[in-house]
Chain A
Amino acid sequence: MQIAISRLILTSCALALASFAIAGDDPLVARQDLMKSVGKATKPVGQMLRGQADFDAAVVMESLKTYEDVSAEFGELFPVGSESGEETEAAPAIWEDRAGFEEALATWQKSISEALAAKPATLESAKPVLSNVLKSCKGCHDTYRIEND
């Protein structure tokens, strides 16, 4: 119980800090930090899918919640004027085809909601919904991210 509470407090602090960073900082830095947190959340899930780690339903749900939080604010962090700098990998296509970008984000959000709703308890049930989420990563990175090595 105590652990759960302290975890809750820690998470809230982290979230508060994150939103502070987003509010007061360069959107470019904010979106990069958010994507890094997505990367961190993906690694354990990917390892389970690849058979490198045992399935852990709690970790999966936690990662999905991270995705949910990030995907809710990510789209707003690409204002006009934030096209370059900080070695950004954001492709010009985000600004040239905003509708397509929003659509790709919506696909991501939908896959996350579906996976959260499914509350997968086993690797077998997790595989299809998680694959869907991860496929949507590629579906956006193919057009809207520049590859810099």
Chain B
Amino acid sequence: MRRIGIVVLSLLSIGLVAAWWLSRPLAILAEDLPDYAPDPVKGERVFWAGGCASCHATPVDGRRAAGQDKLQLGGGMQLDTPFGIFRVPNISSHETDGIGRWSMVEFVNAMQHGVSPSGEHYYPSFPYPSYARMDVEDVMDLRVYLETLPAVGRRSAGHSLSLPWSLRRGVGLWKRRYMDSDPVVPIDASNHELMRGREIVEGVGHCGECHSPRDRFGGPIMKRWLAGAASLEGQGRVPNITRAGSNVKEWTQEDIVYYLESGFTPDFDTVGGTMVAVQENMAMLPASDREAVAAYLKYIPAVE
């Protein structure tokens, strides 16, 4: 009897050690970065394509920041989800409250590996699983653009999550199971428009984070890529934006472009909900980017 106890205990400790090992944060080193001179002008385009402001801009009087206030990246917005409340942090250039002192590799590790400068996992409410698909040069451009934005002094409280989600280390296992930096939809590299569309939709624009459904562990269900999902914040449903989506199947490519630019559907209903902020960001991009997104959405597999 006692022997069984010892066996069970040993197995349990082996399991725990293995889980600890498997869940460790994996980051890259400064020497892994490419020899590249980042460009803040390019970084601004990455900033709007990524919609950083939609979550990180500090709300004004409890409401979404507008205009120039979108560049005050002090955080403070809350994401009320089934996993708990996530509180968006300060990513302004402030030296202590923001990310002003971060090195380039620390920034890249946060964006593409979900690892903080202190070596902890970030929760994927910060959509690094999408950013992992970005070119590292684009991430570096973004970093130098963010440095040009105002320093905002304020700190956000930590997240309030329920078990098991509150065990941050467990995110490491989540990453092993769900994170994949490979492209989602195969595209011929000679088609530059589709490649650009994929870059935006699958990577920096992180469209799949809301438009693809998740399983009960919050992992994306890739075979239903962009096929719509229950809203993770509050009520409602995020629409299916593949060609088969009931809202968009009648839309022409030109209709999608017009929607992203103006916020109007072909019936001249307006964009609503959190998509308003996304559309406003898309409107900041060159027309060719909106055309690329539309081309990509018309190209990818239709999912009923």
Interface residues of A (CB under 8 A from B): 39, 42-43, 45-47, 50, 89, 91-92, 97, 100, 134, 137-138, 141-143, 145-149
Chain A-chain B contacts (Cβ-Cβ < 8 Å), number = 69
A149 touches B264 (CB 8 A): no
Inter-chain CA distance A141–B237, complex, in Å, is 15
Known: A42-B268, A43-B268. A149 touches B273 (CB 8 A): no
Cβ contacts under 8 Å, B264 to chain A: 46, 50, 134
Known: A46-B268, A146-B235. A138 touches B276 (CB 8 A): yes
The secondary-structure label for the interface of chain A is helix
Contact of A138 among B239, B240, B270 (CB under 8 A): B270
Inter-chain CA distance A146–B267, complex, in Å, is 18
Known: A45-B268, A91-B234. 14 other contacts (CB 8 A): A43-B267, A46-B264, A46-B268, A50-B258, A138-B263, A138-B276, A146-B234, A146-B272, A146-B273, A147-B236, A147-B239, A149-B228, A149-B240, A149-B246
Most chain A beta-carbon contacts within 10 A, residue among B234, B247, B264: B264
Interface residues of B (CB under 8 A from A): 62-64, 228, 231, 234-240, 246-247, 258, 262-264, 267-277
* 11 A-B residue pairs with CB within 8 Å: A50-B262, A92-B235, A100-B62, A142-B273, A143-B64, A145-B272, A146-B234, A146-B273, A147-B237, A149-B238, A149-B239
Cβ contacts under 8 Å, B246 to chain A: 149
The secondary-structure label for the interface of chain B is loop
A148 touches B64 (CB 8 A): no
A39 touches B247 (CB 8 A): no
**CB nearest neighbor in A for B237:** A149
